[in-house]
Chain A
Amino acid sequence: MPSIRIPTPLRPYTNGQSEVAINGGTIGAALADLTAQHPALKPHLYTEGGELRAFVNVFLNDEDVRHLQGAETAVNDTDRLMIVPSIAGGNTSAPLQKVDHTALRVNQACIIGLSIVAFIFNAPWLAALVAVVMAYGTARQQPGFRALYSGFLKPRGWVQPDVIPDNPEPHIFAQGFGAVVLAIGAAALLAGVSTLGWGLVWLVVALAALNLFGGFCAGCAVYYWLNRLKAPGFAKAPPPGTFPGMRPKA
């Protein structure tokens, strides 16, 4: 009669036995006999759908049966079977997505350039227009000036994509945050409160420039702080090894 070796964590379900004698002409039949003898093993070997769990390995004479014929693999009386766990785990963070940082930088350059033009020509409507484009992009979950990048600059090879693993959500949040500040600034200008208005416009310019030239996204940092405080809707943590708000290493 073949026997099967039980790993330490499962021995409490086999009365402490490390080897159990089993009947069955195939791996499937032998495992069915084992769980019939010791029913408490079943939830730990099989999923609720009846599949062998992914981290349960069955070895026949030191060979993984997944590399043989699986449950159909024939078992002889002299064979030695082994159940061996793969120990696995990990945290819940979703895999990082790919973010094209050139698209972000083109967006920042547009925000900076148009806002400065608005200041020079004293054109609050232009600042308001930039805020609208940023708000539109935020609603579409993309950089507001993305069309300029993907429809014009990139096809001509004037800028090169810079795709790195990163979370897109904090960048979208940062843009939305900038849109709100710029909209308040534009509203203040239209209401005649020009010091406050231009102050807010320059704040957006300064933070966009810090991101463009310094690689630090202040809005992303705020997003990650909210994540650390477990604020609802701020699910993503900074990429591993990255200071919150700093550009991840490629």
Chain B
Amino acid sequence: MNLVIPLDAWRLLEAHLEAAYPNEGAGLLLGHANGQGMQIELVLPLENRWQGEEQYHRFVLRPQDFVFGEAEAEKRGLQLLGCFHSHPDHPAEPSEFDRDAAWPNFTYIITTVAQGRVTRSRSWRLKEDRSGYTEEKLLISEG
């Protein structure tokens, strides 16, 4: 499935993840989906709530953040389609920890922030049997 995200929303996502460096940053993705693909309309930057010193390689969003994301989506006639997070100085690929914590039918954009700058982003979706991920095509649309 393709994932299309408008440039202004993409810039907000990048700025949030660069600001979180060297820790992981994260947030939610709202938009429309149909059989052909997904169109992101809104990026919700959120605070990394991982407890302790390991935010440089861990993130968690609170249950309240998820409820907030769903409520925002309903209010705007959108759907909660997925989330995004950064891997500081690491590849934009899901880790074993990501897979263990992952939800099905949910998009995971993973972005490498190397030395404080976004260098690469890829989009992933958990397989039905939780055995791995399929990669989604991530497209940034101008205007």
Chain A residues engaging chain B, CB cutoff 8 angstroms = 7-12, 43-44, 54-55, 57, 59, 64, 82, 84-93, 95, 237-238, 240-241, 243
Contacts and interface: CB of A to CB of B under 8 A. Distances in A.
B61 interface: yes
Contacts of B91: 91
Contacts of A57: 63
Interface in B55-81: 56-63, 65-67, 70, 73, 79-80
B101 A54 contact: yes
- Range class of the B interface residue count: 35 or more
A85 B21 contact: no
A89 B66 contact: no
Contact of A240 (B22, B83, B85, B130): B22
Interface of B: 21-24, 26, 28, 50, 54, 56-63, 65-67, 70, 73, 79-80, 83, 85, 87-91, 94-98, 101-106, 108, 110, 115-116, 129-130
A250 B97 CA distance: 27
Contacts, number: 116
Contact of B61 (A54, A59, A88, A90): A88
Given A43-B129, A44-B104, A240-B89, A88 B62 contact: no
B105 A10 contact: yes
A43 B130 contact: yes
A92 B95 contact: yes
19 contacts: A9-B104, A43-B129, A57-B63, A84-B67, A86-B63, A86-B101, A87-B103, A89-B58, A89-B95, A89-B97, A90-B87, A90-B97, A91-B24, A92-B90, A92-B95, A92-B96, A240-B88, A241-B21, A243-B115
Contacts of A59: 63
Contacts of A241: 21-22, 88-89, 115-116
Contacts of B129: 43
Contact of A87 (B65, B79, B130): B65
